[in-house]
Amino acid sequence: MPLPLLALAVAAFGIGTTEFVIMGLLPDVARDLAVPIPAAGMLVSAYALGVTIGAPIVAIAVANMPRKKALMSLIGVFIVGNLLCAVAPGYAVLMAARIVTAFCHGAFFGIGSVVAAGLVAPNRRAQAIALMFTGLTLANVLGVPLGTALGQAVGWRATFWAVTGIGVLAAGALAVCLPSKIDMQKASLVREFSVLKNPQVVMVLGISVLASASLFSTFTYITPILEDVTGFTPHAVTLVLLLFGLGLTVGSTLGGKLADWRLMPSLVAFLLAIVVILTVFTGTMHAEIPALITIFVWGILAFAIVPPLQMLIVDRASHAPNLASTLNQGAFNLGNATGAWLGGMAIGAGAPLTTLPWVGVATSIGALVLTLWSVSIDRRTQRMAVPG
């Protein structure tokens, strides 16, 4: 891994850890700050909405800033946000600190993706993006379990102190490893926002929302599924989630390689495979070994689509890649919230846990249909461009 990509991956690891580790610390946070669990759960929702809303605002704010300076500024916000989380005297300050941290999330991944793609040869751009996102997948495999264990052992604040330290390490790596001059277009608000007039860009954002909703409509409730339906013990569930995280890591690498080979066919194939694997999961969730195999494959496919989608948005918004790439991160997080909401609605309406994969099937079919529609528009445009 080239050193600049390694530096970006370290930052991605820290950002991914701080986003998801709060889920494992909710009871500790709620007890320490004397708030109910649902109120503590809002720390998760507020972060996701902070990414969605803050991503374009921050991207525009740093649009004309040199790329290295922009990334250093964003990791600085990340460090300050987690430091505030660690010392927060009460719920309100912790909530504000989470939102501050979330604001840097989408812009960092969006701008970082553009920088990663620009650091390598054209035929390796998706792999470069995948290498950066490896930090995010490793956050789920290592950062979240270790951060949760640390918080449960010595207090939840210790986890945020540790993440602050990761942020400082990432800032040092970025300062040393990123080149001082990175080619960039001079941005303007009109040109940046005009990218949303391109229906193909909007389609990619829609695909990202639906694909992410497909994952989180089921994964949000994976622990009760594994305990109440499959029959795993709480300790075994932790190991299953570790296996899922390993699948995410494999999928990110695989998605990058195949996207550099054939971008759109790979994306279509992955989405079709997600429809199939979620359908299979409706049956295999009732037995431990089949469920393990299915969950691992699901993990591979769930993150295999991330590099192709990020690469696609960079390609289709070549005149304003930073905003578009950042908006795509907001779309992923909007999908996270939407998927969790859809799954919760299904359960609230009386549907059993076993029906949740069908919600994922429906949303992934929507993503597949939108992708095929986009492909057909591309082909029609190419035919019209050929003389005669």
Supply the DSSP symbol for 252.
Answer: H
Quick one: pLDDT at residue 101? Answer: 92
- Whole-angstrom distance, CA of residue 375 vs CA of residue 268: 9
Q: What tens digit of pLDDT does each residue of 268-294 get?
A: 999 999 999 999 999 999 999 999 999
Quick one: pLDDT at residue 1? Answer: 55
Q: Is pLDDT at 188 greater than 70 in this prediction? A: no
Q: Domain check: are 228 and 363 in the same one?
A: yes
Residue 273: count of CB within 10 angstroms of its CB: 17
Q: Domain check: are 145 and 211 in the same one?
A: no
**Who wins on pLDDT, 225 or 130?**
225
Q: Domain check: are 177 and 191 in the same one?
A: no
Q: Domain check: are 168 and 286 in the same one?
A: no
CB 225 within 8 A of CB 381: no
Q: What percent of the chain has pLDDT over 70?
A: 94
Choose one of 181, 201, 232: the last residue of a domain. Answer: 181
Q: Is pLDDT at 192 greater than 80 in this prediction? A: no
Lowest-confidence pick of 163-167, 193-197, 336-340, 365-369: 193-197
Quick one: pLDDT at residue 189? Answer: 52
Average pLDDT of the chain, as a whole number:
86
Q: Domain check: are 111 and 256 in the same one?
A: no
From its phi and psi, is residue 232 left (phi > 0), alpha (psi between -120 and 50) or beta? beta
Q: Domain check: are 145 and 195 in the same one?
A: no
Burial track 314-331 (b if 16+ CB lie within 10 A, e otherwise)? bbbbeebbbbbbbbbbbb
- Whole-angstrom distance, CA of residue 294 vs CA of residue 284: 7
Domain range for 19: 1-181
Number of domains in the chain: 2
Q: What percent of the chain has pLDDT over 90?
A: 38
Q: Domain check: are 128 and 14 in the same one?
A: yes
Quick one: pLDDT at residue 283? Answer: 95
- Whole-angstrom distance, CA of residue 55 vs CA of residue 263: 25
CATH of the domain at 128: 1.20.1250.20
Q: What tens digit of pLDDT does each residue of 205-230 get?
A: 999 999 999 998 888 788 788 888 99
CB 11 within 8 A of CB 168: no
Q: What tens digit of pLDDT does each residue of 10-45 get?
A: 999 999 899 888 877 877 888 899 988 777 878 877
Quick one: pLDDT at residue 116? Answer: 86
The amino acid at 57: I
The tokens describing 298, both together, are: 């699901």
Choose one of 130, 161, 181: the last residue of a domain. Answer: 181
Strand residues in 5-142 grouped as ranges (E): none
- 173 CA to centre of own chain: 22
Supply the DSSP symbol for 1.
Answer: -
Q: Domain check: are 117 and 248 in the same one?
A: no
Q: Domain check: are 215 and 258 in the same one?
A: yes
Quick one: pLDDT at residue 324? Answer: 76
Choose one of 125, 160, 181: the last residue of a domain. Answer: 181
SS3 label, residue 27? helix
CB 364 within 8 A of CB 218: no
Chain length of the chain: 388
SS3 of 259-293: the string is HHHCHHHHHHHHHHHHHHHHHHHHHHCCCHHHHHH
- Whole-angstrom distance, CA of residue 100 vs CA of residue 80: 9
Burial track 144-161 (b if 16+ CB lie within 10 A, e otherwise)? bbebbebbeeeebbebbb
Q: Domain check: are 255 and 329 in the same one?
A: yes
- Whole-angstrom distance, CA of residue 270 vs CA of residue 264: 10
Give the mean pLDDT of 180-191. 61
- Whole-angstrom distance, CA of residue 43 vs CA of residue 208: 23
Q: Domain check: are 77 and 170 in the same one?
A: yes
- Whole-angstrom distance, CA of residue 166 vs CA of residue 135: 12
In the numeric block, the tokens 């994969």 are attached to: 357
The tokens describing 309, both together, are: 């989608």
SS3 label, residue 305? coil
Burial of 237 (0-12, 13-18, 19+ CB in 10 A): middle
Residue 242 — pLDDT band, cuts 50, 70, 90? confident
Q: Is pLDDT at 186 greater than 60 in this prediction? A: no
Q: Is pLDDT at 94 greater than 90 in this prediction? A: yes
Q: Domain check: are 25 and 156 in the same one?
A: yes
